[in-house]
Structure 1
Amino acid sequence: MNTLILEDDLLMAELLETILAGIYPRLSADIVTSVEEAGNKWQPGRYQLVICDWNLPDGSGLELVRQIRKDDREVAVLMISGRNDRESVLAAAHHGISGFVSKPFSVEMVRDRLKTILPPEQDGDGDHSDLEAMLKAACEGHFQLPTTLAPADILELMERTDPLDANQLAERWRDETGLTTRLLDVANRNSFRRSGEPVSTLSEAIRLVGTRMSLDIALGLALDNTHALSDAGLRERAEAFQHQSEDVAHYAQAMFRQLRLPANEAFTAGLLSRAGELVVLSVLQQYLAGGGSLTDERIEQALKDWSQPCGNRLKVQWRLPLELRELIGAIYFLPRGGAKQDRIAMRAAALVAQGRVAEPECQRLLRFAGLDPDDFADTADTEPEAD
């Protein structure tokens, strides 16, 4: 579903995009920050939904609404505003909006209003009968990974009288791949606009985005049921991939600490190492929900054919820093000659996590990285301990 978001607060726009992706599985969102830019983007038939703020630096969102309604009386338009007086609401209604949400708003409020003005089954998001087309679309567009977060847990954190700081939240959420990718995505969009410095760890992302906005984004993900895995077979595979990535993350973090390298970045790289597989499994779930059927052979073939291209493409779409992407890549492949110490350690961590410590490749890489293979000799039948 194509959506235009007019909001000059980029973090607020990112939150809205998170909420939207949790309702409409094949979302494509254009975020603009001015009335002029929105007017240039708008074309009849291009969008199924428009969300616009009222007060913008260069004018009023009502100007965009007027332009839209001259061309299209049917497209859903949600107005968001700090104004909540009766006159403002009536004025917005007079211009033909579909719904109105006043700031500050809750994630649940926006979700409910969106479902009212544009039910998910009416979003016109395309054909769910062509699996290859769905996988290709996931690789090329916005995609939100499923998460195991529970809405009640996030709401409890929001209501605490002693709110958690960034480090505490990062520790609590450290194994949440979907939330990590989303917060890195949001943080890097804003980080590059502000300083040009990339963000590579969950704690850095939370500090930049802010704990309250991070909690709102986490709640938006927790309420996302469009990407959840309800099929037992797909869920079992996802859990296995998640455990594999967590093992790599813990071993990589421990190795990097021994080598006095950035251990948190190593953990993030390990955690995201199976993102491609998780994306494919989520698309397969959507295919099943659309009436398709899958054999084990077709599932395995889809994972084989699409996990790497989806993972590589979406790591760019999620704006993961190049250094982080290269650490993830080293888990699977090291270029011949000249590999850096941190890349060698990441590959070694992956082999150790697979129980391949005794193999010559793993022994050689551990030594090249400056690590003692004997330190990992007893890990073949044990899982790494969380720090």
Structure 2
Amino acid sequence: MGEQGAGAGPRVVIAEGDPWSRELLANLVRNVRGDARLELCADGHAALAACRAKLPDLVLADRALPGLDGLSLLRELRRGRRKPPLPFILMSERSDAASVREALPLAPSAYLVKPLNLEALSKRLGELLLAPGQEPVQVSAGLPANATLDAYLQGQRERSVGAPLLEEVRVALGRRLNAAELDLSTLQDDFARDPQITARLIAAANSAALHAGRSCQTLSQALARLGVAHSLNLVLGLALQRSAALEDEMLAQRAGQFWLLSQRSAELAALLARLCQGDAERCYSAGLLHCLGDLALLRCLQDWQLAGGELDEAQVDNALRRHAAGFGSALRTRWRLPLELRELIAATWQLGGGVYSRDVLVLHLAAQLARLPAERGVEDLLDNKAVQMLRLDVAALQRVRELVEG
């Protein structure tokens, strides 16, 4: 359980067992009331304790909460017979008439069926958290006095929300939200080039609430486990986050370079894996995610600007050199990406000691090829350990390079 936000805005308790859905709900509340004080709870007992410690202005709770379920939480809070009743939004995967009738005597402010209709939820939040005619409340955090960029980035490393989203993905998302029918292959096509979405959906699919059997290490595996509606909701939540798009031209240009490098590395890794009988889809994922730290850092630099900090090209370059690797490592660890996937991502930078799997060698070589300047020939890589161990020649390397560039 944790409280976020120290403003004078409404206090909102969010009780949701899945951490990714919990974050999505928090983002939706912040978009309506940026000054809200959020109490995030992973189970019903923690939510009840938070409400008893200090009565909130609103509760959002999943019916299937661990420990004390959401309906029982609502029942406990209604025992106080508060007038007017405490605003309470109950969310549930159960849409049958009996389940709805069971909740109605407890007078929830809304009974919303999962997967959630985020537009309807946002509208309801506005009705409950804003006065009639009041616009959504936006809050911009200023920088502490005498703050330095280096200290700011060190403090943000463990709090980073990741990379910005590709513009093409945000456009596609707008189209898909109004589509009559969607399937997993459509979402795969829309999201496959975006590192942030790929990483977050893989992380969500491996969360304790959904984890079953083997870990998900690719976007297609994550989409299959999460399903169309839940995946779309999570991506929409990412799009609603602060600085999901880079508005600063200098930062957007740098991000474009890292996106291109990520996508190029992913495509090379997939081709090399097929050539060497490796796992092409898993290698694609690792190649796509290896610049996540650079992109996340650029997003934090925009937040620095929005808070009033100054920024020039030299500072951007220095920040990337000093902090990007740490940002990437912290994100992959905090999001609990599968260890095998993290090891492949690490191989893009260097080969450690010991025995190398075929996929590790493929990732290392793909990163070298992706960074090879256009004017240099692939024969410059013949002394690379990965090339030698995979037993590739100039013709094979050149063919792979041409397929990606072509």
Q: Same fold (TM over 0.5)?
A: yes
CA distance in 2, matches of 1:151, 1:77: 33
Tell me how far 1:278 sits from its aligned partner: 0.8
Residue 374 of structure 1 corresponds to which residue in structure 2? Answer: 395
CA shift digits 1:54-82 (9 cap, x unpaired): 67554533367579999xxxxx9763346
- C-alpha distance in 2 between matches for 1:354 and 1:109: 46
Question: What residue is the counterpart of 2:302 in the other structure?
Answer: 285
Assess if the C-alpha contact under 8 Å between 2:264 and 2:370 holds in 1.
yes
Residues 154-163 or 333-342, more deviating: 154-163
Please give the per-residue CA displacement for 1:224-258, whole angstroms capped at 9, x wherever unaligned: 45332100000000010010011110001101111
For structure 1, which runs of at least 5 residues remain unmatched after alignment?
71-75, 94-99
Distance across 1 between alignment mates of 2:335 and 2:38: 13
Map 1:18-97 onto structure 2 (within 5 A).
19=28, 30-33=40-43, 35-40=44-49, 51-53=60-62, 58=69, 59-62=71-74, 79-81=89-91, 91=107
* Post-superposition CA distance 1:86-107 (Å, at most 9, x none): x9699457xxxxxx57445422
Decide which of 380, 384, 387 is 2:404's aligned counterpart: 384
Secondary structure (helix, strand or coil) at the match of 1:257 reads helix
Gaps of 5+ in 2: 6-11, 93-98, 131-135
1:109 equivalent to 2:129? Answer no
Could you say what secondary structure the match of 2:164 adopts?
coil
Amino acid across the alignment from 2:165: T
Aligned-partner SS, 1:79: strand
Same amino acid, percent of matched pairs: 27
Distance in 2, matches of 1:36 and 1:343, equals 44
Which residue does 1:172 correspond to in 2?
Answer: 190
Change (3 A) 1:196 1:379: closer
Give how far 1:195 is off. Answer: 2.2
Q: What is the SS of the residue equivalent to 2:243?
A: coil
Going from structure 1 to structure 2, the CA distance change for 1:77 and 1:9 (only over 3 Å counts) comes to farther
Which residue of 150, 153, 165 maps to 1:147? Answer: 165
Paired residue secondary structure (1:141): coil
Contact 2:28/2:237, CA 8 A, preserved across alignment: yes
Write the letter of the residue equivalent to 2:372. G
Distance 2:143 2:80 in 1: 29
SS for the counterpart of 2:298 is helix
C-alpha distance in 1, partners of 2:311/2:392?
A: 44
Shift of 1:36: 1.3
Match for 1:221: what amino acid? Answer: L
> Quick one: distance in 1 between partners of 2:231 and 2:200?
10
| 1:105-254 equivalences in 2 (<5 Å) | 105-114=116-125, 117=129, 119=136, 121-122=138-139, 127-129=142-144, 130=147, 131-141=149-159, 143-148=161-166, 149=168, 153-164=172-183, 166-190=184-208, 194-254=211-271
Matched-pair contact (CA < 8 Å) for 2:271–2:400 = no
Distance 1:67 1:355 in 2: 68
Whole-Å separation in 1 of the counterparts to 2:365 and 2:26: 37
Q: Is the 8 A contact 2:91 2:111 kept in 1?
A: yes
* One-letter amino acid matched to 1:261: G
**1:18 offset after TM fit, Å?**
5.9
Query: Aligned partners of 2:77 and 2:362: how far apart in 1?
Result: 54
Contact 2:18 2:207 in 1 (8 A): no
Q: Quick check: 1:256–1:345 contact (8 Å CA) kept in 2?
A: yes
| Displacement after TM superposition at 1:205 (Å) | 0.2
| Whole-angstrom distance in 2 between the partners of 1:352 and 1:106 | 44
User: How many pairs are equivalent?
Assistant: 369
Larger Rg: 2
Give the Cα–Cα distance (whole angstroms) in 2 for the partners of residues 301 and 202 of structure 1: 32
